Amino acid sequence: MRSISEIIKAAGGAVKIAEASNGTVTAEAVYKWTKIGIPDRHWALVMPLAGASPEEMFKANLLAREASAA
């Protein structure tokens, strides 16, 4: 299973995700996702870019949130 960082990298990076969002998310916000997880509202954008499944996104988010809480 990939981490949030690996999913973002597979999607082409923060800038590519921001560009693909048509202004709904900034690259700066994407960088924060490594600590807070990818917000559910952006899954539909990120999943096809990264080739990720909903299950993988959910598990990666849990791990990111657990790590930042520790």
Per residue of the chain (70 residues), give pLDDT as tens: 899 999 999 999 999 999 999 999 999 999 999 999 999 999 999 999 999 999 999 999 999 999 888 7
How far apart, in Å, are the Cα atoms of 68 and each of 32, 36, 37, 64?
Answer: 11, 7, 10, 6
Q: What's residue 69's pLDDT? A: 82
Q: Which residues, 6+ apart, have CB-to-CB distance to 29 below 8 Å?
A: 18
- The reply to whether the predicted model has a pTM over 0.75 is yes
